Structure 1
Amino acid sequence: MSAHAWMPNSPCDTSCVTGGTFRRVSIVRVMLRVLTALVVLLSGLLIVVAKPVLRSNTRHAIRRWFASLVRAFGVRVEVHGDARFQATPGRGVLVVSNHVSWLDSLTLNAVQPMAMVAKLDIKGWPLLGKLISAAGSVFIDRERLTRLPETVSELGEALRNGLAIGTNPEGTTWCGISSGRFRPALFQAALDAGVPVRPVALRYRVADGTTARPAAFVGTEDLVTAMRRVLRLRGLVVEVHVLPEIAPGRADNRRDLALIAEADVAEALGTTVALHKELDFQRA
């Protein structure tokens, strides 16, 4: 399939994630991580099968499962700020975060399970795709722009029904040192539903505070290659910075709303996204 002009592009490639010196675990530890992750993955089948029985406890079971999976890969999660993405239970919220790694969605669901806006190909991932689908996620085909209004309408309805929905508005992954522009299209769903936007900033680092570029999933590499790098890393930490909500009415249109969220995330991370003059009156 050919890409279209709207498709986001990142300058990050494999050279971004292979450079630098990072401590690695032994091959024995890697094998233990793999075995543990496989056990956790297989246990996820129980959640998929038992979802009708779990009912109100499904979210708790899913959160525990994602937390166990992230730990199995040797990753520690640090939450900064309120660990709730939904300040008011039962009120919809659009959660937007920067996009670095295949671990992003797993980490966010380990903090609070939510429906995710995900690439269509993720739906076909073994087991993970089924669990992400079980959380009520919406899959978007970026090759077919004609479906975008339908997706926005679907998201707006879900937000009106009180769901927390997560999305990566950059539309592609970055290495973590710099960030991309937030595409405004899906912010329209929050405006239509009259719900807040919750910016979340994700930072991947190792124990000494260095940005863990090997954790990124960039360029044209395959998922298995990216997973191998994470399995070998020692002391990988994902910082989840839950930032203040952007209340309904603070922005008049989706472009301004995207700019505010983008600037909040960039400020939290200290990354190099150019700020815009249009933000001056919003941040005053």
Structure 2
Amino acid sequence: MNPWLPTAPCTPGVCTGHDGRVRGRPAAAALLLAGCLCIMAGALGAPFVALLGAARRERLIRRWAHGVVRAFGVRVRIVGGPAEPAGPPGTTGTLVVANHISWLDIPLVAAVFPGRMLAKSEIRGWPLLGPLAARGGTLFVERDRLRALPTTVRTIGAALRGGSRVVVFPEGTTWCGRGPGGRFAPAAFQAAIDADAAVRPVRITYRTTPPRRTGTGRAGHNAPAEHNEPPEHDEPAGAAAFVGDDPLVASLWRVVTAAGLTAEIRVLPQIPTAGRADRRDLARRAQTAVANESANRPPESVHH
């Protein structure tokens, strides 16, 4: 691994615990199968979807991506204004930037902002997800080759100028979702400046339903303690985190066995790039916007 590449202190052993409700093996296996079949259906149908008009294609991709997350047993919550439709041919696209926690981030963002993902080249070899990403126009990059960075910036800029919506996770690696996360690398923001494309930040959060507690009624019998429970989404969902050297299969199984997961995507105000020449300032603004959405969400980061 190149020492200049971003790294996170998150590890599977520390960050992926789940203290909530757990599904039994048969139910979890059924969800795993359903999720994989949903992804496979998308891969097989991609050539036919490409023949549709832009508006119908975008609606269908949103519904399919939403269905993928739900098929794995994860509820979806979208907060913020509705996503603006992709512009007509000849208009500049939008750079969508988000924090990065899980492989679930990809269909979650696509459920709101279908677009061309920027992804590390290793994803091309993933089962099911890799072929689907390639057919969906994913822009694969060699993360270990810093010399390829100018080419990556030009590729993103060309896609934006061509009217594509490009989705980037500027942290460059996954974090567990506790605390502020990583620094937004400025390279993709240079492409937005070059193409005069607006930046749309979004915040991704995974929450879990706390385990039910029981209380004692006045007659001495155990009774449900719904009124004593913390809010439903009070705990960060470590089960959704896909960090460090975590195998994809292990992460898939952890997601389907953890009951009560909710994926939230919060659409934040658009940041114009007109008149901006400093990609680092633009990256800091987007990072601050995303981080501020979690400023009042306990607990504090487990990393020191």
TM-score under structure 1 normalisation? 0.89
* Cα offsets for 1:198-229 (capped at 9, x unmatched): 11000100132211011100111111111111
Query: Matches of residues 6-85 of structure 1 in structure 2 within 5 Å?
Result: 6-19=4-17, 21-56=19-54, 57-84=56-83
Query: Conserved in 2, the CA contact under 8 Å of 1:77 and 1:238?
Result: yes
* Cα offsets for 1:18-73 (capped at 9, x unmatched): 44512111222112202212321332243134245335333333222222111110
Give the whole-Å Cα distance in 1 for the aligned partners of 2:7 and 2:52. 41
Q: Does 1:212 align with 2:222?
A: no
Give the whole-Å Cα distance in 2 for the aligned partners of 1:147 and 1:234. 42
Residue number among 227, 235, 247 corresponding to 2:272 in the alignment: 247
The 1:136–1:257 alpha-carbon spacing in structure 2 relative to 1, beyond 3 Å, is: same
Give the whole-Å Cα distance in 1 for the aligned partners of 2:12 and 2:80. 32
Counterpart code for 1:25: R
Query: Matches of residues 188-207 of structure 1 in structure 2 within 5 Å?
Result: 188-207=190-209
SS at match of 1:96: strand
Give the whole-Å Cα distance in 2 for the aligned partners of 1:66 and 1:253. 34
Query: Conserved in 1, the CA contact under 8 Å of 2:92 and 2:197?
Result: yes
Q: Does 1:236 align with 2:261?
A: yes
Query: Matches of residues 1-284 of structure 1 in structure 2 within 5 Å?
Result: 3-19=1-17, 21-56=19-54, 57-84=56-83, 90-178=91-179, 179-207=181-209, 208-209=232-233, 210-249=235-274, 251-270=276-295
The 1:132–1:83 alpha-carbon spacing in structure 2 relative to 1, beyond 3 Å, is: farther
* Cα offsets for 1:174-208 (capped at 9, x unmatched): 11002111111111000000011111000100132
* Aligned-pair identity (%): 42
* Cα offsets for 1:68-113 (capped at 9, x unmatched): 1111101111111123155866541100000001100111112231
The 1:135–1:83 alpha-carbon spacing in structure 2 relative to 1, beyond 3 Å, is: farther
SS at match of 1:204: strand
Gaps of 5+ in 1: 274-284
Of 8-17 and 36-45, deviating more is: 36-45
Report how many aligned residue pairs link the two structures.
Answer: 271
Q: 1:169: how far off? A: 0.4
Query: Conserved in 2, the CA contact under 8 Å of 1:202 and 1:240?
Result: yes
Give the whole-Å Cα distance in 1 for the aligned partners of 2:274 and 2:57. 33
Give the whole-Å Cα distance in 2 for the aligned partners of 1:242 and 1:182. 17
Of 82-91 and 179-188, deviating more is: 82-91
Whose Rg is larger?
A: 2
Query: Conserved in 2, the CA contact under 8 Å of 1:206 and 1:212?
Result: yes
* Structure showing the higher helix proportion among its residues: 1
Counterpart code for 2:185: R
The 1:93–1:52 alpha-carbon spacing in structure 2 relative to 1, beyond 3 Å, is: closer
SS at match of 2:21: coil
Q: 1:250: how far off? A: 6.2
